[in-house]
Amino acid sequence: MSRCNLRRLHSSPQCREQYFDANQQIFNRVALNEHAKDKIVLVDFYADWCNPCKLISPILEKLSGNSTIKAGSGRSLDLVTIDTDKEFELAQKYHIRSLPTVMAFKDGKPVDHFIGALDEISIKKFLERV
């Protein structure tokens, strides 16, 4: 499911998308294909039983939904969440061994990641790097 936040400071609205519990098809379309051009796509690999995942998810939702927060490259952010128990093959493909793992995709390729429940300030610093 996608949620779009609109901001009308310019003649065209800026749309940020959040895809919760995405499957591999949605992941491919959003993070790897044309949609990813001009954006940073954060992919949050999580599991329902993972307590640190429950701490970080609201922070990622807040930051990716805030139109004033951009990656260090100046690109806007989209968020995709992947339940590793449901999308095991996708987690294997990206060598997800610990949760939460958050990967940043730029131009359809992974460019950086972090593992563990970081606080909001640390996640903002991560975003400045990508």
Tell me the per-residue pLDDT of 93-122, one tens digit each, with 9 for 90 and over: 999 999 999 999 999 999 999 999 999 999
Q: Which residues of the chain have pLDDT under 50?
A: 1-14
Q: State the pLDDT at residue 126.
A: 96
Q: Is 50 a catalytic residue?
A: yes
Domains and CATH numbers, the chain: 18-129 (3.40.30.10)
Set 30, 53, 59, 96: catalytic member: 53
CB 100 within 8 A of CB 116: yes
What is the pTM assigned to this prediction?
Answer: 0.86
Set 31, 41, 42, 50: catalytic member: 50
Q: State the pLDDT at residue 120.
A: 96
Q: In a 10 Å sphere around its CB, with 0-12 CB exposed, 13-18 middle and 19+ buried, how is residue 31 labelled?
A: buried
Q: State the pLDDT at residue 23.
A: 97
Q: State the pLDDT at residue 62.
A: 94
